[in-house]
Structure 1
């Protein structure tokens, strides 16, 4: 679990940073780039929340062995 969290964090940082700099390069607008970066952070957080809720529900449904 811990390794997956670290890999996910690294990939997330790389993707969000790349998108932010891509927007700066394409538009030259730092505010637009920051908005894009924060928007992506929000999307990643929502995806993580959905995964956590699904995981929690599976744990509650599965009877102990």
Structure 2
């Protein structure tokens, strides 16, 4: 079965945005993982769903 060919006018570009990747207990662990993944990233200190403060890694794509 062949897949249909789409023209550029029939597709929609999705703008890049920050996406949650994973939570870490330490800033160093968050930064190390961010560096290793090869994306633009940021680590933010926030309260998780469990009520505990953690470092959240976000990737830009």
* Structure with greater strand percent: 2
* Structure with greater helix percent: 1
Larger Cα Rg: Structure 1 or Structure 2?
2
When normalised by structure 1's length, the TM-score is 0.30
Q: Specify which structure has the bigger relative contact order, considering alpha-carbon pairs within 8 angstroms and separated by 6 or more residues.
A: 2
When normalised by structure 2's length, the TM-score is 0.32
